[in-house]
Chain A
Amino acid sequence: MRATISETKVIPAVLFDRWFLFAALALLFLGLIMVASASIGISERGYGTPFHYIIRQICYVGLGGFCSFIILRIHSDYWQRYGGYLMLLTLLLLVIVLIPGLGREINGSRRWLGIGPLGFQISELAKFTVIIYLAGYLVRRGDEVRSQVVGFLKPMLLLGIVSCLLLLEPDFGATAVMMMTALLVLFIAGVPLRHYLALICVVGAGMGGLAVSSPYRLARLTSFLNPWVQQYASGYQLTQSLIAFGRGGWLGVGLGNSVQKLFYLPEAHTDFLFAVLAEELGLIGEAVVVGLFALLITRIFMIARRAHRLGKDFAAYLGYGFGIWIGLQVFINIGVNSGMLPTKGLTLPLMSYGGSSLLVMLMALAMILRIDYECRLEER
Chain B
Amino acid sequence: MKFHDLKNRTAKPTGKSESLYTFRFILVCLFLILCAAGLLLRMVDLNVIQRKFLLKEGNARAIRVMKLPAYRGMVLDRNGVPLAISTPVKSIWVNPHLFKAKSWQWQHLAKYLHYSEAQLKQLIHENHKRYFFYLKRNLDPSLAAKIKALSIPGLFLQKDYKRFYPQGSSLAAIIGFTNVDDQGQSGLELAYNKWLRGISGKERVVRDRIGNVIARLGILRKPQPGHNLQLSIDYRIQYLAFHSLKQEVDHSKAKSGTIIVLNSQTGEILAMASYPSYNPNLLHKSDDPNYRNRTVTDVFEPGSTVKAFTVVNALDSGKYTPTTKVNTNPGWLRFGKDYIHDSGHVNNGILTVRGILQKSSNIGVTKLTLSLPPDSLWQVFHKVGFGRLSSIGFPGESPGVLIHHRIWRPVTLATLSYGYGLSTTTLQLAHAYMVLAEDGIWRPVSLLKLNHIPEGKRILHKHVCSEVLNMLESVVERGGTAPRASIPGYWVAGKTGTVRMVGPHGYELNHHIGTFVGVAPVTRPRLVVVVEIRDPRKGSYYGGLVAAPVFAKVMAGALRILNVAPDRPRKTGGPHA
With a CB–CB cut-off of 8 A, which chain A residues contact B53?
A: 246
What are 7 of the A-B contact pairs (CB < 8 Å)? A247-B54, A249-B48, A283-B48, A297-B32, A308-B16, A309-B20, A324-B28
Query: What residue in chain A is nearest B56 (Cβ atoms)?
Result: A246
Question: A239 with B57: in contact, given A245-B47, A309-B20, A313-B10 (CB under 8 Å)?
Answer: yes
Which residues in A have their C-beta under 8 angstroms from that of B19?
190
- Interface SS of chain A: helix
How far apart sit A308 and B153, CA to CA, in the bound complex (Å)? Answer: 58
From A310, which residue of chain B is reached at the shortest CB distance?
B16
* Closest residue on chain B to residue A340 by CB atoms: B42
With a CB–CB cut-off of 8 A, which chain B residues contact A262? 208-210, 212, 214
Binds A, one of B33-41, B399-407, B509-517: B33-41
Query: In the complex where A243-B54, A311-B10 touch, is A248 in contact with B47 (Cβ < 8 A)?
Result: yes
Mostly, the B contact residues are helix
Q: How far is the CB of A266 from chain B (nearest CB, A)?
A: 10
Residues of chain B lying within 8 A (CB to CB) of residue A264? 61-62, 208-209
Which parts of B1-42 form the interface with A (CB within 8 Å)? 2-3, 6-7, 9-12, 16, 19-21, 24-25, 27-29, 31-32, 35-36, 38-40, 42
Closest chain A residue to B2, Cβ basis = A81
Q: What are the residues of chain B within 8 A of A243 when measuring CB–CB?
A: 54-55, 57-58, 61
| B146 at the A interface (CB under 8 A) | no
Residue of B19, B32, B153 contacting most chain A CB atoms (<10 Å): B32
Q: How far is the CA of A324 from the CA of B32 in the complex (A)?
A: 8
Contacts of B36 in A (CB 8 A): 290, 293-294, 331
Which of A7-15, A112-120, A181-189, A207-215 lies at the interface with chain B? A181-189
CB <8 Å contact, B54 and A41: no
Bound complex: CA A184 to CA B29 (Å): 10
Task: Tell me, in angstroms, the Cα distance from A188 to B48 when the chains sit together.
Answer: 37
Contact indicator per residue, chain A 294-337, by CB within 8 Å of chain B (1) or not (0): 10010001000100110111100000100010011001001100
Q: How close is B33's CB to chain A, nearest CB, in angstroms? A: 8
Q: What total of chain A residues lie within 8 Å of the partner, measured CB to CB?
A: 57
Total A-B pairs in contact (CB under 8 Å)? 141
Q: Is A171 interfacial (CB 8 A cutoff)?
A: no
Q: Which residues from chain A contact B7 at a C-beta distance below 8 Å?
A: 77
CA distance A248 to B21 in the complex (A): 42
Are A334 and B39 within 8 A (Cβ)? yes
Contact of B21 among A189, A278, A324 (CB under 8 A): A189
- The reply to whether B10 and A314 contact each other, CB–CB distance below 8 Å, is yes
Of chain A, the residue at the smallest CB distance from B154 is A45
- Closest-by-CB residue of A relative to B11 is A311
Scan residues 142-166 of chain A and give those whose CB is less than 8 A from a CB of chain B.
Answer: none
Q: Which residues of B contact A309 (CB under 8 A)?
A: 16, 20
Contacts A263-B210, A264-B61 aside, 10 further interface pairs with beta carbons under 8 A come to: A45-B98, A80-B6, A188-B21, A239-B57, A246-B58, A247-B54, A308-B16, A309-B20, A311-B10, A313-B10
Chain A CB within 8 A of B50 CB: yes
In Å, the complex CA distance between A328 and B35 comes to 9
Cα A244 to Cα B151 with chains together (Å): 30
